Chains A and B, each alone.
Chain A
């Protein structure tokens, strides 16, 4: 803010147009300066990619050291190896238990749980969903995947719920935990695969830990929120009657928070299932293996079958846990007797029926689907090819050329300026530092390639999300049409968006963009809609009574008042886009994501993969900080009330 000294001029404000010019003048000057600097210093201080960077070799050596000392260093001998054994045993045990139920037993148990949580509707969904998995011919792999997801969910809840309770009860813990959770959720899932396999080797143990990193934050966050939301008066009433802290926790806080905590469980399960194909990269058994292999061969039909199976598992577990979160419905006896009846029926059928899901009930859909895909490729190519080429030659290539041919310091300066403008000095410094970090890691070129895809995808996503959100906020009918799609989209595991994108556009950067668009647009649209709808009706009414047109209402009242929601939508859109673009490495989007995949599969590329993982985290933090104005800049003058 420029504070003018005592003004001689009368207090007549400048005409609005002139004032707007003054406000945007620095931006225009800055943009002009960047253009000039780019023209002057183009192709200087560029950092081309080098597969043999010293850092990569150094990281390889570190890996070798760990491999040599895995069975002698006390940290591994007494801590890490035991954790690995424990997690692996837990997985084996759960897997064995689910297997022992037999397919009729497991289907019956799921139906029973559905009944217990939400009555016959949910029971039916559960029976149909798990029956469908059998029909798809993926029973055994699905049991492995379910066991892995349940192991991760179980451990996430065991650790996450107590931690969440603690976080909800103590300001000090919250101050420590919140930023850690923020980073955990910004980190693209790929980035931590390499360090985890260094510690826990490849296999189910590493897969479980990787899944936990992604699945635990919602459990902690939502539990903390639930515990905080317990009304103070009830807690006080309990204390006034002489309850101990533990009694108040057990009899008041936990029961009252239970429904919300179940929502956290729901989120945790969803997160765990969306990790399934990724952990297949580190040799986790289950559906992910088939999926990854099929994707690598661009065999859409073969990828769709395991994909559908994961989606079915996700839908069933989502409905059960969501129904449980909705709370008590009917009498306890009806619920438990239904549960017992369904489970017993399933278990009774297990010895009677074949141990394998009967082959004659399975339906082969790989070939018909591939026929459809082939037909699309043959007949829609003019459209899909045109879209692909337009984005590639019109947006991706020019942007990538600019970013990679500009001096690294100029790009950093641009990020610094942008973040400063949007979010303030401190986030700007963090963002700038992150970008310098990418350069130091020796991954500047690949980082810029990833950034290019993310920026283009985010641009398309946010633009579309904004339009959809504004439309949905203005038209109840459109919102009603949109909502079921948004709900369904949020239940789906994230990678499932890759499949239709691959079907339409084959492999490549554009496919990753399409997938991240489909992945992130629902969230952006919903945040925009909620923000616009949250504008107080009294304000809208006042503006309307002053004679505003609908357009004026939107531009002068609704959008400005929803500013923080819009920024949050942009923030979420960008972070989600990054996550998806990285996964896009599985379908040929290349860049940092591919470095990570290569680092896992090839010994000599380990160092580069590890560095690429770190670079992804840095990019994630950078993009988050640039748009962080959403989290509400902390006002230093506003003191917390006692």
Chain B
């Protein structure tokens, strides 16, 4: 199963009576609505395959009802998949006994939930230490570790509060700390910031980016917010009706949407902030000067503006030492202008 941190092949989850019979029947090809009308079953995840590389932030994005939350729960079998293969760190999750599965959840994969899932009758420090407690770790040791993690997420001084005394953003930091406390290889996030106010959500996204830099965990992040997906994801999978429509980097999704659905999704994204020079550079015209500033091909268009402002000559776009094309001021302005007015409403509209 290679070197992937998580590998999923042909995963299905169908809710309802005799679900496993549907997989191999022609009914499996039906649209979810038709399937429900015909069999009373609901297909939440349909034949999904993807890989997550070690240390990567992999985002699964989709509207509500697209099956993304079911998908992430299938990874550690919080919801039992109907069919398909799942490997985490090369180990077959679906073959695991219940005790092996518990070990996986205790030590290797932990999860952050949309509604936090904190225990109201326990102090913050005991909430964070909960995962260690059920592993059988002694009180002194687990509290020591919990306190360290709490300061990592910026909650020092709140150890003895009860969850209800904290704001939503702080509660989710506790949820994050609880997931981090067991030092897992993989962190799963199920729409962790959807219940938070926009400003706090932005802080928390920055927090995740910072933590990813500091601790370097593999992360699977579920969201329905495109701007959040573009901000956090190294690669993004777009789900619709239980299927993955496209997997790719933010640039690939915005620059080359696989179909109308994805195109419609990314239409209002300000392209100059996502796409790189590679997408707009052109072959130099005869006689065009080639002694302008030099920028790598993966520079985001927006970031090339200062270079263009400081020099009137076309920017040389290079990749691996080779010249791949040039971009002049008109090209840049054109790219920025295409984003036009809607750019503002697009990012605000996601909230």
Contacts and interface: CB of A to CB of B under 8 A. Distances in A.
Interface string B117-131: 111111000000011
B117 A234 contact: yes
A241 B113 contact: no
B26 to A, nearest CB: 22
Contacts of A53: none
Interface in B48-95: 73, 76, 78
B126 to A, nearest CB: 10
Given A233-B115, A255-B121, A239 B134 contact: no
Contacts of A251: 119, 130, 133-134
A238 interface: yes
Interface string A240-267: 1111100100011001101000000000
Interface string B162-176: 000000000000010
B118 A234 contact: yes
Nearest to A250: B134
A231 B110 CA distance: 19
B15 A231 contact: no
A243 B136 CA distance: 11
A488 interface: no
Nearest to B103: A242
Most buried by B among A231, A239, A241, A251: A241
A241 B114 contact: no
Nearest to B188: A240
B121 A233 contact: no
A240 B105 contact: yes
Contacts of A242: 101-107, 131, 134-135
Contacts, number: 73
A241 B115 contact: no
Contacts of A240: 76, 78, 105, 110-111, 113, 188
A273 B183 CA distance: 54
B42 interface: yes
Contact of A233 (B102, B106, B114): B114
B45 interface: no
A237 B135 contact: no
Given A231-B115, A237-B113, A241-B178, A256 B121 contact: yes
Nearest to B114: A233
A333 to B, nearest CB: 15
B116 interface: yes
Contacts of B107: 242
A252 B119 contact: yes
A638 interface: no
A64 interface: no
B40 interface: yes
Given A233-B113, A236-B113, A642-B15, A241 B105 contact: yes
B15 A238 contact: no
B68 to A, nearest CB: 16
Interface in A55-94: none
A619 B233 CA distance: 68
Nearest to A234: B117
Which has the most chain B C-beta neighbours within 10 Å: A234, A256, A258? A234
Contacts of A238: 117, 130, 134
Contacts of B114: 233
B182 to A, nearest CB: 7
Contacts of B122: 255
Interface string A631-642: 000000001001
A236 B134 CA distance: 14
Interface residues of B, number: 35
A241 B113 CA distance: 12
Interface string A472-486: 000000000000000
B284 to A, nearest CB: 55
A238 B73 CA distance: 13
Nearest to B15: A642
Contacts of B188: 240
A239 B111 CA distance: 10
B118 to A, nearest CB: 7
Nearest to B116: A233
A244 B175 CA distance: 20
A257 to B, nearest CB: 10
A642 B130 contact: no
Contacts of A642: 15-16, 42
A405 to B, nearest CB: 54
A256 B119 contact: yes
Contacts of B15: 642
Given A242-B131, A242-B134, A251-B134, A237 B117 contact: yes
Nearest to A255: B121
Interface string B1-17: 00000000000000110
B269 to A, nearest CB: 31
Interface in A467-518: none
Contacts of B101: 242
A237 B188 CA distance: 11
Nearest to A237: B117
Given A239-B78, A241-B182, A255 B119 contact: yes
Nearest to A642: B15
Contact of A247 (B78, B120, B134): B134
Nearest to B175: A237
Contacts of A243: 102, 134
A241 B110 contact: yes
Contacts of B40: 639
A242 B118 CA distance: 15
A246 to B, nearest CB: 10
A351 to B, nearest CB: 41
A642 B106 CA distance: 27
Nearest to B42: A642
Contact of A244 (B102, B111, B131): B102
B119 A234 contact: yes
Interface in A219-244: 231, 233-234, 236-244
A240 B118 CA distance: 13
B16 A231 contact: no
Contacts of A256: 119-121
A233 B111 CA distance: 11
A255 B122 CA distance: 9
Nearest to A233: B117
A237 B42 CA distance: 24
A285 B104 CA distance: 59
B113 A239 contact: no
Interface in B12-61: 15-16, 40, 42
A642 B79 CA distance: 12
Given A234-B117, A242-B104, 5 more contacts: A236-B117, A237-B116, A237-B118, A244-B134, A256-B120
18 contacts: A234-B119, A236-B113, A236-B117, A237-B111, A237-B117, A238-B134, A240-B110, A241-B105, A241-B110, A241-B131, A243-B102, A244-B102, A244-B134, A247-B134, A256-B119, A258-B121, A639-B40, A642-B16
Interface of B: 15-16, 40, 42, 73, 76, 78, 101-107, 110-111, 113-122, 130-131, 133-135, 175, 178, 182, 188
What 10 pairs between A and B have smallest CB-CB spacing?
A237-B117, A242-B106, A242-B105, A642-B15, A241-B131, A233-B117, A240-B111, A242-B102, A243-B134, A233-B115
